C-alpha cells in the first residue's frame, strides 16, 4: 500500500525523518571510505604513525575544507581489521606519557589494495557525480 506524501511509518515529522536518513547515509558512506582514507594517509606518511597521529592528519585543523566525517574512535577498529588482513603492519611502543602506542605502516599488499581501491573510488565518484551533479562532473573530467 502506498502512503500519502509526508506520511511516515515512524510517526516522526518529515524534517526529523530526513535527519535520521541523512545520519544513516553518512554512517554507511563513512564505513566504506574509512579504510581508503586510512590507507591513503599511511601510504603518504614518511614514518609509522599511531592512531592519534593519523586522526590529527585528518582533523579540521589539518584539512579545514573537509572536516572528518567520522569519529576519531571509529578509526581504531578499522586499523585493527586492516592489520589483521595484512594491509597494515603494526608494532607496540611503550609511552612515558600514557598507555603503549600501536604504530602502523602500510604493507606491500596494502599498497596494492590501495591502488585498486583508489581506481574504484575514482570511477564510482565520477559515476555518482554525473547523476547527482551533472555540471560538477563535467568540470572534473575537463
Report d(CA 120, CA 123) in Å as an integer.
5
- CATH number for the domain including 28? 1.10.10.10
Position 88 scores a pLDDT of 98
State the pTM of this model: 0.77
Nearest to 63 by CA among 100, 94, 37, 91: 37
Nearby residues of 65 by Cβ (< 8 Å), 6 or more positions away:
none
Q: Give the model confidence (pLDDT) of 56-106 as tens digits.
A: 888 866 676 776 667 778 899 999 999 999 999 999 999 898 999 999 999
- Name the domain count of the chain: 1
* Assigned domain for 74 exists: yes
Is residue 115 situated within a structural domain?
Answer: no
Q: Where is pLDDT greater, at 11 or 43?
A: 43
Amino acid at each position: 500500500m502506498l502512503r500519502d506524501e509526508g506520511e511516515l511509518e515512524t510517526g516522526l515529522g518529515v524534517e526529523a525523518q530526513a535527519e535520521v536518513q541523512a545520519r544513516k547515509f553518512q554512517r554507511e558512506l563513512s564505513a566504506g571510505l574509512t579504510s581508503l582514507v586510512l590507507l591513503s594517509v599511511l601510504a603518504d606518511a614518511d614514518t609509522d604513525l599511531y592512531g592519534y597521529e593519523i586522526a590529527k592528519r585528518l582533523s579540521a585543523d589539518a584539512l579545514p575544507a573537509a572536516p572528518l566525517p567520522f569519529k576519531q574512535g571509529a578509526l581504531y577498529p578499522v586499523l585493527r581489521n586492516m592489520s589483521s588482513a595484512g594491509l597494515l603492519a603494526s608494532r607496540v611502543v611503550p609511552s612515558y606519557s600514557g598507555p603503549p602506542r600501536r604504530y602502523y605502516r602500510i604493507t606491500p599488499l596494502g599498497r596494492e589494495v590501495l591502488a585498486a581501491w583508489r581506481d574504484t573510488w575514482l570511477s564510482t565518484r565520477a559515476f555518482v557525480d554525473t547523476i547527482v551533479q551533472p555540471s560538477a562532473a563535467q568540470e572534473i573530467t575537463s
